[in-house]
Structure formats: structure tokens, C-alpha cells
A and B are shown apart, each in its own frame.
Chain A
Amino acid sequence: MEFQSCVKIINEWDIVAARQLGRNVAKELGFGTVDQARITTAISELARNIYLYAGQGNVYIDKVYDAGKSGLKIVATDEGPGIQDIRKVMEDGYTTSGGLGAGLPGVKRLMDDFDIDSTPGKGTEILATKWIR
């Protein structure tokens, strides 16, 4: 991993900072406008989840290279309450915040790889990668 930058999510302004960083890195990597929008939206959703559910956490943006492909990896981590039932939060329309419930299943659709690891009481780590086609 030759590049890593991090935005600490504490307030709503940090959500803006995180998605701006993500968009810039996506541009640098040569993603098209639609993929840039997908990445920016995914980061915004993940950063907002941290802000809403955990209070604070970190969003890392990495450039990744694998088998001749390059991509952008988002890692969203927090030490919040964790997710009780991961299967449930991955269902469309499920929400505990009264939001739109687009959250995680939406992010999964926007990105290519998606992985979630959560321990109740300890925190949550979400990895999402988009590859350049």
C-alpha cells in the first residue's frame, strides 16, 4: 500500500472533507465521472453512518493495485456500539435512525468489493473497493 490518507470523522463537516478527499483521489486515479460519483456517494454514506451511530471514527482512502488493476479502497472504522445483526442491516430499507435506509446495501451496490466486520460493544470496520475497469 503506497498511499494512505485519513479523515477523522467527528462532526458533519468532516463528512464533506472525507468525500472531497475521496473524489480527488478517484480523479487522480483516472476514474470516470460516474465512478467518481459512486465513490463520493459511498464515502458520504459510510462517513455519515460513523457520525450518526458511533459518534466518531476514521475514514481511510487508499490507492490499491492488484494484478495489473488499480482501484480505490475505503476503510471506515469506529469504536461505536457495533452492529447487532449484520444480515439485517444489509437488507434494503432497514434503518434504526429514521433515515432513508439506503445505507449499507446501497454502498455495496455502488462499490465492487464490500466487507463488513463488526463486534457489538467494540466497533465496526467496513472495507469497500472500486476498481478501474
Chain B
Amino acid sequence: MRIPILKLYDCLLVSIQGELDDATALQFQEDLLQKIHETSANGVVIDITSIDFIDSFIAKVLGDVLSMSTLMGAKVVITGIQPAVAITLIELGISLNDVMTALDLEKGLEKLQQELGD
């Protein structure tokens, strides 16, 4: 399975849906960085509304892809973290510090536009 990455003006939009297995997660990491490179995108919104749990591996992959995108000069916002996901992540001991988040896709795009200085 491959996660589709859409371009919207100078941003990339990603909606992660369904069961995220290790191979898909790692493939996504490469695909996103490649797409940032190809499109010269300034920002990325990763929406995880349909994700109902995150384990330490998926958290690590997400955290890594954020750092990697930052290295390439793109800002990333994660949107749509479900209550159950927020609770289990913190109980598990993972606090995604320094990660820009927003309640939903709309707020995420707004935040990104602010960050990018319009």
C-alpha cells in the first residue's frame, strides 16, 4: 500500500488512512521527502483523523519524517489526532514535543499559512 500525497499550491496534503503497517510507514517517509524535493513545497499537512492508535514505531516514523522534512526546509503540521490516540501516546510515554499540531485539516492549513508568513 502507498499513501497518496497531494499538492495544494505550495503545500502537500496527506491523509493517512487504515492500518499503518511498518513497510507502508517507511515507504511513506521516502515518498514524502521525494515529493517535497520534486515540488519544492514549503509546508506539509499530515492528517491522521482515521488513525485509531499509534504505537512507538509509528510515532518514531512520524517524528523522524518531521525532522527530515524540517531539514529539507518544509514545515509540517499533524492534524486530527483522536482523543484515544492522544491518551495512549502520553500513557505510553511518548510526547511528540516540538511537533506542530492542529485539531483538523482546516485549522492545520491555517496554522501552516501563518507559519509560512502568508
Contacts and interface: CB of A to CB of B under 8 A. Distances in A.
Q: Is the A/B pair a real complex? A: yes
Interface stretch (A12-20, A66-74, A77-85): A12-20
Contacts of A107: 92
A44 B93 CA distance: 15
Interface residues of B, number: 22
Contacts of B93: 92-93, 100-102, 105-106, 109
Interface residues of A, number: 29
Interface in B93-108: 93-94
Nearest to B20: A16
A44 B57 CA distance: 9
B52 A100 contact: no
A21 B84 CA distance: 18
Task: Tell me whether chain B's interface is mostly helix, strand or loop, or mixed.
Answer: helix
Contacts of B53: 19, 23, 36-37, 40-41, 44
Contacts of B56: 45, 48, 99-100, 102-103, 106
18 contacts: A12-B22, A15-B22, A20-B19, A33-B84, A34-B83, A36-B52, A37-B82, A38-B87, A41-B53, A41-B92, A92-B93, A99-B56, A100-B59, A100-B60, A102-B94, A106-B91, A106-B93, A110-B91
Interface of B: 19, 21-23, 52-57, 59-60, 82-85, 87-88, 91-94
